[in-house]
Amino acid sequence: MPVIFLSAICLVGTFASFVQVGGMSEGGMRAMGTGMMAVCVLFGLLLFAALTEFVILEVLWIMLWRQRLHDEKRSAPAIGGRAD
């Protein structure tokens, strides 16, 4: 008998929590949605900034290595024969 009583109390508590969640005002839901939207926008901006920085660094890296290889070609001696 006590087990049934405790189960009934748990069931009533669960029902009460559902009613409480269901009774949440529409303004609260809208504020939560707005907050989630702001977080998504900020995360998107962070990803965009990281991608932009990555592209800029890649272009600079390519330019650096192109210059280094060009300088190395100019200063390297021509191989004309066998080494003795």
Question: Per the domain annotation, does 63 fall within a domain?
Answer: yes
Query: What does each of the 84 residues of the chain score in pLDDT, given as a tens digit?
Result: 454 545 555 555 655 555 555 555 666 677 778 888 989 999 999 999 999 999 999 999 999 999 999 888 877 666 665 554
| Domain contains 30 | no
Predicted local confidence at residue 2, as pLDDT: 52
In a domain, 10, yes or no: no
Q: What residues make up the domain containing 68? A: 40-74
Threshold 0.95, pTM exceeds:
no
Report residue 78: phi and psi, to 5°: -75, 140
Dig out the tokens for 78 from the structure: 């021509």
Task: Please report the DSSP string for 43-55 in residue order.
Answer: HHHHHHHHHHHHH
Q: Helix or strand or coil: residue 28?
A: helix
68 in a structural domain: yes
Total of domains in the chain:
1
